[in-house]
Structure 1
Amino acid sequence: MKVLILAGGLGTRLSEETTLKPKPMVEIGGGKPILWHIMKIYSHYGFNDFIILTGYKGHVIKEYFLNYYARYSDITIDMSNNDVHMHKMRIEPWKVTMLYTGQDTMTGSRIYHAKDFVNNETFMLTYGDGLCDVDINKLLDFHKKHKKAITMTSILPNGRFGVLDINNTTNQINSFVEKPKGDANINDSGYINGGFFVCEPKVFDYIYQAQQKKLSIQEDPLSVVFEEDPLRDLAKDGELYAYKHHGFWKCMDTLKDKNDLQYLWQHNCAPWKKWQ
């Protein structure tokens, strides 16, 4: 099963780090970018086929993976005969596809770029700036049981994000409101969008419909925000379900967020680190 990772945004609230690199490449522990940590989470559960949806400074991500072996291996370079020998190669069981989706493309339109690579199969999707200790296998099992288009990992943070109205009996999401003013929540549920989605190919139809709506009012179809019309319409049609996660989750929005994650890693108490 493929894992799509949104990695193309500007990261303006972390400008101290993102002037020279995209936010998913900001290092948070062990000299590794947050993108690497996200991929290790999925890999721990056996999901190793990644599609990275790049945009802003996407070449930095491409160069990182092109030079991955040399970066993390011990090497001897014999300049007298142009020989390079690698020792103790540190490898991952990953297949990584990098799709350049445009500098200013919005999240929904970025996701649509991967349609032909998904091959009409169930896929996973998450953001390139959020870490979580969610059990991916349990998330997938929950998704298979309700048999709808999309499952969103839903968490209880301090606010600032899209609020969900969840049916407490079935966990169906009745409505989705992205970043409501005043951080108000609906029905006092408090649950918000934490990423770590499981999606059926039907999700691409909703993005396509949103793109057509943009064209009908002479707007750029690449400006479709996944968290607006597509998720709202999926919720309205009963196709969006919440997997309630009560463990660790943190989005790296600011320098403080980055430092908090780095602190957890440095003190050997990073909840997302399940791998050995």
Structure 2
Amino acid sequence: MTRHPGAMSNARRPKLRKFLQPGTLLVAFTSFATLLASTASAEVIGKVILQDYRGATATPNGQPDTKPIYYQDQVSALDTVQTGEGGATSMQFLDETRFDVGPNAMVKLDDFVFDPMSTIGAGKISMAVGAFRYVGGKMKSDENVKLVTPTSTMTIRGTELVIFVGIDGTTEVNVVDGAIDVQVCNKAEVVPATIGQRVIIPPTCEASVTVARPVPEDLAALDVPDDLGDFSTAAGGDDGGEPGGGGGGGGDNGLDRDRDRSREQPDSPPDAGPAPDSEPDPDTGGGGGSGEGSGCEGGDCGDNL
């Protein structure tokens, strides 16, 4: 039997052409692109630089497992970082930006990209609750970094910020260095602030600008102030709170209940008041609660005596 290699080759070609049909290539390319996107979503964006472990954890996006993050551990895009009571951590991103996280905090590291050759990059960090310090690094395009809270979106320019986010969403941004533009809630309104100023955005989305409060250098002292929204009450603090605890929606606290009690107290003396008046009048049978007793209080008692 004589074999013809050319004929065998031709017999295989239809199968090859069928495999390389445009639709098949498109599906293969789409699957590959999806794989790349999935890999990029877990891209490393920084590391932990706090040497002492203080209870910070990270949860990768869509994963049920939460892991502690120690000194030099990597953090990735879409990680959710949390701290508990007395907890804290400090991270350094790709351009040497430093990001401190205080106790009782939650933040999602949405993304952070940086090209060391061009020093161009971008990022997004979403702070849900807690105290944070952001110190910009080498990125020239830091206006592309967005810092997001429940009531604001911040655009930064060469900035060092101390940010407090209350559990009711109240946000306070203290500008230690540089400048920021704050978009209030979902409004088109943008509030600028520069060094030495702070912007306060309550849940009502009525922003105000005032003098920055003194902020601690020590990471351990970086905590949400007691006078910021409902944070202290909702976090398990003293429900009576301090009188200043009504900033941006925190007015419904122990102070208001004390006021309610003070309103009730003037009504109690009239209930006991008729008793002394009823003793000198035996004809009324000591009826302190009767209508006649009430009339005596009205001024007729003097005429009867």
Scaled by the length of structure 2, the TM-score of the pair is 0.25
TM-score where L is the length of structure 1: 0.27
Larger helix fraction of residues:
1
Q: Which has the larger radius of gyration?
A: 2
